[in-house]
Amino acid sequence: MSVTYTYETARTALVLVDPYNDFFAEDGKIYPRLKEVAESVGLHQHIRELLAAARAGGMPVAIAPHRRYREGDLEGWLRPAPTQRKLRELQLYAAGGKGGEWYPDFAPQAGDIVATEHWGMSGFAHTDLDQQLRQHGVDHFILAGLTAPGCVEGTGRWGMELGYGITLVKDATAGFSKEWLQVAVELNGPLYAEVLTTAEVLTRMD
């Protein structure tokens, strides 16, 4: 059964997950693994279009950022997850380093919501994202960013449990392979969101 959402600007936000240089810049630590898939879907251009449309229409933009690596992270942890061990091993999105800076095209602007950093796979877990969205009157969000089977899906699933309506933009995200992306957006996406292309979303934002 398909779901169709109507975007009321005052009650809808664009949520962009993890817009760091390590994820989006050519010399980022993670982007080379994503590049082929990202280019195949037009990732960067589609996010630019979504951000431009949201800001032009007065729609809130929210950034859901991952934990930036800091010296001492995970010391003494009993059960760090594999992705958290990678954070420490590779010093991903290191605070004070280029990889942990915002990708320039997607950097938050004045008035944007910037949530506190999440440690795992959800922009909501142990952060203020839910509080910030609700304080802005948001009950539906348009979801984009990286990665599709990781923090994007985790954020979407958690948002659904919290009662938000969600639109997943399937060509404004990517994965480490075309298969991972396909599973995340075509199979898993409809479990928690309406799944649309950027072009379809932009038509509703006019």
pLDDT in tens, 96-132: 999 999 999 999 999 999 999 999 999 999 999 999 9
The reply to whether the predicted model has a pTM over 0.85 is yes
pLDDT of residue 7: 87
Domain extent, residue 65, equals 9-205
pLDDT digits (tens, 9 = 90+) for 15-61: 999 999 999 999 999 999 999 999 999 999 999 999 999 999 999 99
Number of structural domains in the chain: 1
C-alpha angle 172-174-177 in degrees, rounded to nearest 5? 155
Please indicate, yes or no, if residue 74 is contained in any of the structural domains. Answer: yes
Count Cα atoms within 13 angstroms, Cβ side, for 8. Answer: 8
Please indicate, yes or no, if residue 157 is contained in any of the structural domains. Answer: yes
pLDDT of residue 4: 75
What pLDDT band is residue 2 in, cutting at 50, 70 and 90? low
Please indicate, yes or no, if residue 45 is contained in any of the structural domains. Answer: yes
As beta bridge partners, residue 66 has 118
